[in-house]
Amino acid sequence: MPRSTLVNRNIVAERGRTSMRLEPELWDALAEICRREGTTPSELCRRLERSGLPGGRTSAMRVFILQYFRAAATEEGHVAAGHGPAAERQRRATSRRGGEARAAA
């Protein structure tokens, strides 16, 4: 049987120290959120517990991480990152303008 890729780390939650198991990518995403928001994973966990999200602590953290990045995934953000149809339209428009400028020169 393959080993789990989940990583277990300690968190200080409302009721004391506990552990949380997340995929390495989610730990990386959580660290990025904490850097951006000037907080720690433990403080974020305590905020989530106080907010009364349904389900367990780990589930609430996964949902929070997803919601955080979904909220940041605006069309402007996608264009800036070069993702999605809007970015493709912008690349085509820029390419056409570049071709027109070279033809005029």
Q: What is the pLDDT of residues 16-48, one digit of tens each?
A: 898 999 999 999 999 999 999 999 999 999 999
pLDDT at 96 (0 to 100): 75
* CA pair distance 45, 54, nearest whole angstrom: 13
Instruction: Kindly report the average pLDDT of the chain as a whole number.
Output: 84
CATH number of the structural domain 1-72: 1.10.3990.20
Is residue 26 within 8 A of residue 62, CB to CB? The reply is yes
Structure tokens, 59: 């589930």
pTM: 0.70
Q: What is the residue extent of each domain of the chain?
A: 1-72, 75-105
Task: State the pLDDT confidence band at 3, using cuts at 50, 70 and 90.
Answer: low
Q: Looking at this protein, which amino acid is placed at residue 67?
A: Q
Q: What is the pLDDT of residues 82-102, one digit of tens each?
A: 766 766 777 788 777 766 655
Selected residue with higher pLDDT from 67 and 105:
67
